[in-house]
Structure 1
Amino acid sequence: MRTLIITAFMSLDGVMEAPGGEEGYRNAGWTFRDVPFDEAAYEIKGREQDEATALLLGRRSYEAFAPVWPSMTEDFARYNELPKYVVSSTLTDEDLADDWGPTSILRSVEEVAGLKESDGGPIIVHGSATLGHALSEAGLVDRYHLLVFPLLLGAGKRLFGTADVDAIPLDLIEHEAYGNGVQKMVFDVARKAGD
């Protein structure tokens, strides 16, 4: 079974929206504007590209990344080559970018479960808050890669949903704190026997 990893920049109060400066959000660009840059904190991002064998995105994140990432050949060269899967009930093949490598549309969380059962390595989920909530609630998330920034942002999309679900235990498998206050936390979702 393939490992499904959600990776996110997150404020201390759980906001993941617009870390790089997307328009339409009051605090857009908070990772670069409000916290001093420390290259060491981003080591995990390079590792993710090296280890990933596919990208999984929700529709809104796909529509935000598809016009930008293909031209960012230095930062996202490996991601540009990988197969991409977009979970959407509305996108059609005609809506997909022509210059961003192989892309398939999945129509449901059940189809994501089928993808996890296929051959291959880790599947990385960037952005995609709504999809992330659904994947977590369906028990499909295996690992979280979090860079937690020392900020309280208040409003914004949250990494974790608010559904009334059973507790999900996590095992901290990697942690590091950086001089700029950012903390890296990697958690495996603890599975009960038989899961």
Structure 2
Amino acid sequence: MTRQLVYTGFISLDGVVDSPGSEAEGHRSGGWVVDTELVPEAFALKGEELADTTALMFGRRSYEAFAPIWRDSEDHVDYRDLPKYVVSAGLSEDALIDGWGPITILRSTDDVAKLKESEGGAIYIHGSAELARNLSDAALIDRYNLLVFPVLLGAGKHLFSRADRAKQTLELRDSATYSNGVTKLVYDVVR
């Protein structure tokens, strides 16, 4: 049995995952998640994921953004000692942050495919739009846990590739709609 690779994220209705938390992330509409009315049950999915997460995976840019913040964050203490995987052709070992559990650099999608064949539980990808597109195109993502926000952003990093590729069918596992307009969509990839 292979390990599940799960993409989890906040996404706009038009597919943008870029800069949900703040303008500092480089998107002119940055902070679009915090601009939405806070309804705690809309974020319950994030708590549910903690029980299933056995490892984290990031692209280089998301790793560099999250690592120094999440390592010391009490909100992310449950992730502190989990294994982490960074998919990057250029990141060096000496660029890895100390005190955030075991971190392994994977150099290619082939390395990710080999990791999926290893023993262990679900690996969650946070952020990392480019990585998610590449892994989706390589048919390596098994599930999408999405919180869809009622905004249209146009520009920004999109979760899904625009490449002409074979159709990929998804099966709805769970969904819910909340009073602030956020919709939870959890899809399994059908193989």
TM-score normalized by the length of structure 2 = 0.97
Q: Which residue of 1 aligns with 2:68?
A: 67
Unaligned runs of 5+ in 2: none
Q: Indicate whether 1:92 and 2:92 are aligned.
A: yes
Aligned pairs, number: 189
Displacement of 1:161: 1.0
Q: Which residue of 2 aligns with 1:133?
A: 133
Whether the aligned pair in 1 keeps the contact of 2:23 and 2:29 (CA below 8 Å) is: no
Whether the aligned pair in 2 keeps the contact of 1:4 and 1:143 (CA below 8 Å) is: yes
Inter-partner Cα distance in structure 2 for 1:155 and 1:112: 29
Displacement of 1:71: 1.3
Measured against aligned partners, the alpha-carbon deviations of 1:14-43 in whole angstroms (never above 9, x if no partner) come to 01001111512101111012x100100111
Inter-partner Cα distance in structure 1 for 2:98 and 2:23: 22
Measured against aligned partners, the alpha-carbon deviations of 1:44-74 in whole angstroms (never above 9, x if no partner) come to 101112210000100000000011101112x
Q: Which residue of 2 aligns with 1:28?
A: 30
Q: Secondary structure at the match of 2:14?
A: coil
Q: Indicate whether 1:15 and 2:16 are aligned.
A: yes
Whether the aligned pair in 2 keeps the contact of 1:9 and 1:147 (CA below 8 Å) is: yes
Whether the aligned pair in 2 keeps the contact of 1:50 and 1:78 (CA below 8 Å) is: no
Measured against aligned partners, the alpha-carbon deviations of 1:80-115 in whole angstroms (never above 9, x if no partner) come to 111000000111110000121110000000000010
Identity %: 53
Inter-partner Cα distance in structure 2 for 1:182 and 1:96: 35
Q: Indicate whether 1:5 and 2:6 are aligned.
A: yes
Unaligned runs of 5+ in 1: none
Calculate the aligned-residue CA RMSD, in Å. Answer: 0.8
Q: Which amino acid aligns with 1:6?
A: Y
Q: Which amino acid aligns with 2:64?
A: E
Displacement of 1:184: 0.1
Inter-partner Cα distance in structure 1 for 2:51 and 2:70: 16
Q: Which consecutive aligned stretches of 4+ in structure 1 deviate over 3 angstroms post-superposition? A: none
Q: Secondary structure at the match of 2:68?
A: coil
Inter-partner Cα distance in structure 1 for 2:167 and 2:184: 22
Q: Which residue of 2 aligns with 1:77?
A: 77
Summarize the Cα distance change of 1:68–1:126 in structure 2 as closer, same or farther, 3 Å threshold.
Answer: same
Inter-partner Cα distance in structure 2 for 1:159 and 1:138: 14
Whether the aligned pair in 2 keeps the contact of 1:113 and 1:140 (CA below 8 Å) is: yes
Q: Secondary structure at the match of 1:57?
A: strand
